Structures are given as structure tokens and as C-alpha cells.
Structure 1
Amino acid sequence: MALSTAGAGLAPARVRRARIAVSAFFLTNGALYANLLPRFPEVKDAFGLSNTLYGLAVVAFPLGAILIGALPARAIRRFGSGPVAGLGTVLLCACVAAAGAGAGPGAGTGIGLGVFLVAMFLGGALDAHVDTAQNAQGMDVQRARGRSIINSLHALWSLGAVAGGLMGTAALVLGVPLAWHLLGSGLLWSAVALVALRSALTRAEGTALRTVEPDATTTAAPGDSRPARDPVPAGDPVPAGAGRGGAGRVVVGHLLPVAVIAIAGVMIEDVGANWSAVYLTAELRAPLAAAGLGLVAMMAAQFVGRMLGDPMTDRWGRVAVARAGAALSAAGMLLVVLAPGPAAAVAGFALAGFGCATLVPAAYHAADDLPGLKPGTGLALVSWLMRISFLSLSPAVGALSDAAGLRWALVVVPVFALVAVLMAGVLRARP
């Protein structure tokens, strides 16, 4: 696809700087929280939590995101996606560091658990703002560049998660206290976000890009029925002819099915983030130093899948790529469930990570294309619905694992991936 940027008045050098800035946002967001994930078994032991209570504790993060509703979209419209992504990252770093301090010395007193839960809750609320803002910034840069970049941006998020997972594993092996580890990580990634903010697209630039008409030569990828986005002025609440009832029909008829595809993708990520370390060490008896390998393998494979995602989507279309990816995700998670040892489980996590690579980017792209919604609303609502799945998944896995074992509790994930295979057609762009 090719969009003219003349109406936005952006020079090529300006677009390149914005591309680097949004790439840094995605990389930082992936790395920041991933630093904590390999140390979740340590957190679980520090508080003496059962699987059920552990599952409830880790959902404080998505719960914070869920309760803020559509606030990220409002913040983006008021301040611009760049400031929300950059400054939100700094505050998110502080919350993750506070969570690490709560799980440090004195964690067994009850005060530590309270600090951990509050910090995770606030961190989730901030992450919802950062996630929506960086995707909005990415879609604007994509319009400025005139070709798809959203999968490669999510690839950088995966690369950041790999880097964060390796940082967390290294800190664990070296015996670095959790609080000091997360404080150092937060300072590093805060600095990256603040530097990136200097080159991010401004609110005015983003508004100008959203009013640019597609070139007459624009063509849709196979499987799509129109160009990447219809021009809708950013100040208009809905296109002409679409009232409140029309917006409601868009949400129910189009956005919810798109959110199901996104949820299928993030369920894989959620299991890798919250349960892979516990699964490898508790169920498959992997050494503690190998606890983070499932997450690292998943994110590394997801990075590769997302780097290939843009050319694959250009060639075969969002629907075909998403359907194949969901099928690979189901196969990978089934391998995890049936794995006789840690090596097979790590391979299963890698296959699932490669398969789910394009699901969330495709869902975000489809949500941002929907007419009848204010700018940023589709992205915010899909992100919000994904986090609702976070709220239910970990407690469900924890409760099922206490009753039947963690291995069989994970069966719900490949089943949901198969649902995504059947629903992938909703990603086809509509005229």
C-alpha cells in the first residue's frame, strides 16, 4: 500500500526519526516487564502462594488496565500518542521497580504483598496507556512511510521481551536482589523512552496524517477488499451517516470478533509470561537457571514471525496468515501440554510464539481501520478486551492446576487457538 504524505508536510528525514522513536517505544515496552517474569517463581515463594493465589496475584496487572476503560484513547487525543507512550513508560518503570521492592526483604510480612499488588495494579493501568499510544504512534508512522510496518514494530516488542527475559535470567543466576535488578532496569529503559520521545510524531503531525487521502494507485493485499485505511478527519467523531447506533453496531458486529483474534494471540503470551517458568521448574523439574528459557524461546520465535509478518501479509493477506498462525499456535501449545521433558516444552513454546506472531498486529490493524469510531478508540477497546482475558486466564489456570495439575490446565490455550483459526475471516478489511 502507498499513502501520500504530502498533506502532512513531513520530510523523509522526519519520518525516519519518528520510525526510530516508535521502534524504541516498542522495544522498551517489551523489555521492561519481561525483566520481572523469570523471577516470578521467586516472587511466588517469597509470599508463600499456592498456584491459585499466585494466579490471582499476577492478574493485578491486567486488572489495573481493565478498570481504566477508554482513558488511553482520551489521553492520546488530548496529549498525543508520543508523550503518552514516552512519559507513561517512565511511570511504568517506577511501578515495576516498586513491585520488585515489595517482593524483596520483608515480603512475608503482608505489607510487601500489598506493595506488590498496588504496584502491579498501577503498572497495568500505565501499560494500557503506553500500549495503546505506541500502537497509535506506529499506525501514524506507517501512514507516513506508505507501507506496512506494524508487524516489524511488534517484532521489536518481542525482541525487547527476549532481552528483558535474558536480563532477568542473568540477574537471577548472578544473585542480584530483585529490587536492585528492577531499579537498574527501570532507569535504563526510562532513559531510552525519554530519548525516543524527542523524535516521536507530535499530536498535530498525527492529526495531519489521518486526513491524508490514499494515492490513486493504492492496492490492497490479497485477502483484503480495500486499502489500509479510509481517510477520516481526526476531529470527526464518526464518519457521515454513522450515529451512536452505527458506532454500537461497529463495536458489536466487527470489533468484538477482531478482539477474539487478539485474545488468542495474547493468551499464548500470557501463559509464556506467567506460567512457563513455573511449568518448567515445577512440572518438568527443570533447574532454576533454565526457568526463563520457555519465555525466551517463545519471544525469540515470535520476533522471527513478526519480522516475516509484513511480507507474508503483503503476499497472502491478513486472513490467511492469521489462520495459519493460529493453527501453529494450537500445535505448539499442544506440544507443551504433552511434553515429556523441558526441551520439548521449550520447543512447543517456540512454535506457539512463531504462530501467534501476527495475530495481535493484525487485530490492531483491523481495529484501527474500522469506521464509526473516534481516533484511538478501536485500538483502546481491543487492548481493553485483551486485558479482560488476562484477568480470567491466570486465575483459571491456577485453580485448574491445583485441581488437576498445571499440565492439563494449559489445555485451554490450544483450544482457544483453534477458535481463532475458525474466526480469522473477521480480519478481512470491509469497504
Structure 2
Amino acid sequence: MTTSVITSRSQLVNWRNAVFVLFAVNGFGAATWIARTPAIRDALDITIAQMGFLLVGISGGSIVGLLLSSHLLHWLGTKRTILGSLAIASVGLLLMGLGTEVLASYAFTFLGLALYGFGTGLCDVAMNVEGAVVERTAKKNLMPLMHAFWSLGTVAGAGVGAAAAYADVGVGIHLGVVSGLMLVTAFVATRPLRGDAIAEPESATDRKERSGFAARMAIWLEPRTLLIGLIVLGMAFAEGSANDWLALAMVDERDVSYATGALLFGVFTVAMTVGRVLGGPLLDRFGRVPVLRVSAALAVVGLLAVIFIDQPVVMVSGIVLWGLGASLGFPVGISAAADDPAKAAARVSAVATIGYLAFLAGPPLIGVLGDNIGLLRALLVVVVLITVAGLVSFAAREPAANSSR
């Protein structure tokens, strides 16, 4: 890796904005299929438990992408990894729509979900590593704002999904159009990326230690990395359970329409976005640990309100608190994992992989429980995991050299 210098503010702004766009297009793609989960379930004529196992496709694909990410980043660099991963994700989204509506095939839909999961899992790590380099170059706390753009993408995706459901647009057409838009955006937005050319000064020994396969795998034995992963796991459950089940739970157990279910998911994504936009200043003022503890408390209170109180105003308020509480766990965990630039890719990969276990284990677990005790009561498992994340939030504390607190 050669050292390069950002020669003008416009270069830095273009680079930063490209990363913002990449986060947004990923969020838009995710919300596109999430908002149509009730229609996907009905088109395939499957039970809640079968739906849970179908979602293992995206989670399993994501885990594979995450596990390979640090090695692919070492071989290909962030720019080519992001472009390739988004191309794979767009193909997966297209296959998902074909499997649901055209073929009505559970197996084909599962394949589409797996490809989409692989692409987005790989892209998640690559764009977060690129974003961490932007942060260090700009000398500003930008990671929450980057994740806010992911949430803005989900807001837009949920809105388009609700409109498509209301207009009775087929899942195949909807997902196919979004697949094409995602692919075009990937080619345009990756052009200004510069993370492969910007490096922290390092010795030859540092480069060897950072790039070796054994060194990248040894990250998995670091206690702090594993604890940060546990924080991300709990908060990923908070976010992922809403992504997978909120719209469907509202349709099945609160008797709302498909369009209303998609809109309530949109409320959650708006709350997530607001939390991430406000996250940077809050982190600068109070630090990671207090912010994470308050976030966990908000998510627990909101989720309990949604589970137990069948009253529209309380339900919507609970969804808002749930979204605000879940908003900062992932970006703060990624920032903490990237504290050491020399090992950022490997640590971000490890932490993200642990977090994505929520997306792997969560759908079948919640689905099976939902078939027996109801979807909303099954979400009590998520309450427990969020509580654990709050209790171990001390692991994300800023390095002493970088904190004035």
C-alpha cells in the first residue's frame, strides 16, 4: 500500500460523500426486501417458522462474506471489494424477486437471499474500513453519520416498499428494478474511493504483522475484540429483529394492513436515522460507554412497550424508542474495533461477524418461538441480549490517548 495525500478539500468531500452514498444504497437494498416480507411469505405460502429458516439464507451468506472479508480486502483492496460485493448483492436481489413471484420456489428464493447476504456482508466490512480511513483523514467523528446514511437508505427503501405494497406492485418487478439501480450506483459511487491509497505510516515489520493470515486470525483471541463483538451482537439483535419481524408481527398480531406494517417499519428506520445523526455530537460530549448504556436502556423500554401494550400511540412510541436505542450499537462497535489502524480490517471483520450471528441465529430462533408463543413475545429474547450488550459496554471505551475524558 502506498502513501497518498488528499491534496484538496474537494477531494476529501467527494471521497466522504461517495462513502455516504454507498452506505445509503446498502440500506435502500436491505429495506426493499424487508418491507415486502409479508408479501414474500404469502407468495410462497409458508409458515412463520419456515419464514424464519428462509431468512437463514441471507444470514448464512452474510456470515460467509464477513469471514472472508479481511482476506479479500487484503488481496483486492476496498474499492474492488465494494464494487464486486454490490454486484453480487444486486444479482441476489434479482433472484429473490424471481424466486418469489415468477417461480414461487422456496429454494430459489433462499439462493437469492444467500447471494444477497454474501454481497452485503462483504460490503459492510469493506465500506466500514473505507469509512474509518475517511474518519482518520478528516479528523472528525463521521462513523455514526455514515450509518445514518444507511438508515436514510432504509427510510427511502421502506417508503418505496410501502408504496409498492399499496399499489399492489409485484415483488419480482419491485426487486428487479431496485437491483438494477443498485448496480448502476455501485459503479458510479466507487470511483472516488481512495482508502487503498491512504495509509498510516508503518514499518516493514508492522506491514508483515498486519497482513499475515495468522495475524488476521489471531484477532479472534483478543478479549476486547470479543467483548466489542458481544455489544454489537446484542444491538444487532435489536436492529435485526425489527428488520425481520416488525412488519410481519404488526400484520399478524396487531391486525394492520401490509401497507401499514411497512409504514411502521418505516417509523423504526426514521428513529434509527435520527439516533445516528445525533450520535456524533453525543459521542463527542459524553463518550462511547455512557451513550451505549443509555441506548440499551431505550431499546429495552421501547421493545417491552411494543410487546406488551396493544395501544396505537404507545406502540408507535415504543417503536421510536426501540429504533433510537438500536441506532448506535453497530457504528460505535465498528469505531471501537477500528481504533488501531494497523489491524482495523481484521478487527472490524471479527466484530461484524460476531454481530451478524444475530442475523444468522435470530430468524430461526424467533420464528420457531413465534410459532409457539407469538412473534411479539418471542422478541423477549432480544430484550435479554440488549441488556447484556449494555452491561459489557465498557469494552468500547476510547483509548486513553484519544480521549480527554
TM-score (norm 2): 0.92
Partner of residue 74 from structure 1, selected from 71, 75, 80:
71
Report the CA distance shift for 1:186/1:245 in structure 2 as closer, same or farther (over 3 A).
closer
Indicate conservation of the 8 Å contact 2:66/2:122, yes or no. no
- The code of the aligned residue for 1:426 comes to A
Indicate conservation of the 8 Å contact 1:294/1:350, yes or no. no
- Structure 2 residue 207 is matched with structure 1 residue 211: no
- The code of the aligned residue for 1:162 comes to V
SS in 1 for 2:87: helix
User: What percentage of residue pairs aligned between the two structures are identical?
Assistant: 27
Partner of residue 199 from structure 1, selected from 178, 184, 192:
192
Query: Does 373-382 or 401-410 show the bigger shift?
Result: 373-382
- The code of the aligned residue for 1:261 comes to I
Note the C-alpha offset of 1:70: 2.9
Give the structure 2 partner of residue 390 of structure 1: 359
CA distance in 2, matches of 1:284, 1:50: 18
- The code of the aligned residue for 1:40 comes to T
Indicate conservation of the 8 Å contact 2:28/2:150, yes or no. yes
Indicate conservation of the 8 Å contact 2:219/2:225, yes or no. no
Give the structure 2 partner of residue 306 of structure 1: 276
Indicate conservation of the 8 Å contact 2:133/2:195, yes or no. no
Alignment of 1:25-424 (within 5 A): 25-68=22-65, 70-107=67-104, 112-205=105-198, 208=199, 210-211=200-201, 235-238=207-210, 248=218, 251-370=221-340, 374-424=343-393
CA distance in 2, matches of 1:18, 1:155: 17
Give the structure 1 partner of residue 403 of structure 2: none
CA distance in 2, matches of 1:303, 1:232: 41
- Structure 2 residue 6 is matched with structure 1 residue 10: yes
Note the C-alpha offset of 1:347: 2.4
Note the C-alpha offset of 1:427: 0.6
CA distance in 1, matches of 2:263, 2:366: 20
Q: Once the two structures are superposed, what CA deviation does each residue of 1:71-113 show, in whole Å capped at 9, x if it has no partner?
A: 1111212222122223321221121111011000341xxxx21
- The code of the aligned residue for 1:204 comes to A
Q: Kindly tell me the number of residue pairs found equivalent between the two proteins.
A: 397
Indicate conservation of the 8 Å contact 1:31/1:163, yes or no. yes
Indicate conservation of the 8 Å contact 1:277/1:291, yes or no. yes
Indicate conservation of the 8 Å contact 1:272/1:294, yes or no. no
Indicate conservation of the 8 Å contact 1:139/1:150, yes or no. yes
SS in 2 for 1:298: helix
Report the CA distance shift for 1:167/1:252 in structure 2 as closer, same or farther (over 3 A).
same
- The code of the aligned residue for 1:187 comes to G
- The code of the aligned residue for 2:201 comes to T
CA distance in 2, matches of 1:313, 1:233: 34
What are structure 2's unaligned runs of at least 5 residues?
A: 401-405
SS in 2 for 1:21: helix
SS in 1 for 2:392: helix
Indicate conservation of the 8 Å contact 2:276/2:327, yes or no. yes
- Structure 2 residue 21 is matched with structure 1 residue 24: yes
Indicate conservation of the 8 Å contact 2:65/2:119, yes or no. no
Give the structure 2 partner of residue 223 of structure 1: none
Indicate conservation of the 8 Å contact 2:305/2:315, yes or no. yes
CA distance in 1, matches of 2:37, 2:214: 44
Q: Once the two structures are superposed, what CA deviation does each residue of 1:137-174 show, in whole Å capped at 9, x if it has no partner?
A: 10011111111100000000001011011111111111
CA distance in 1, matches of 2:367, 2:101: 23
- The code of the aligned residue for 2:207 comes to G
Query: Does 416-425 or 307-316 show the bigger shift?
Result: 416-425
Indicate conservation of the 8 Å contact 2:240/2:358, yes or no. no
CA distance in 2, matches of 1:152, 1:419: 25
Indicate conservation of the 8 Å contact 2:66/2:352, yes or no. no
- The code of the aligned residue for 2:345 comes to G
- The code of the aligned residue for 2:246 comes to S
Indicate conservation of the 8 Å contact 1:250/1:370, yes or no. no
Note the C-alpha offset of 1:232: 10
SS in 1 for 2:102: coil
What are structure 1's unaligned runs of at least 5 residues?
A: 1-6, 213-230
Indicate conservation of the 8 Å contact 1:265/1:359, yes or no. yes
Q: Once the two structures are superposed, what CA deviation does each residue of 1:24-47 show, in whole Å capped at 9, x if it has no partner?
A: 100000001211112111111122
SS in 2 for 1:65: helix
Q: Which has the higher helix share?
A: 2
Q: Once the two structures are superposed, what CA deviation does each residue of 1:236-270 show, in whole Å capped at 9, x if it has no partner?
A: 4249xx99799747734111110111112211221
Note the C-alpha offset of 1:402: 1.3
Note the C-alpha offset of 1:415: 1.8
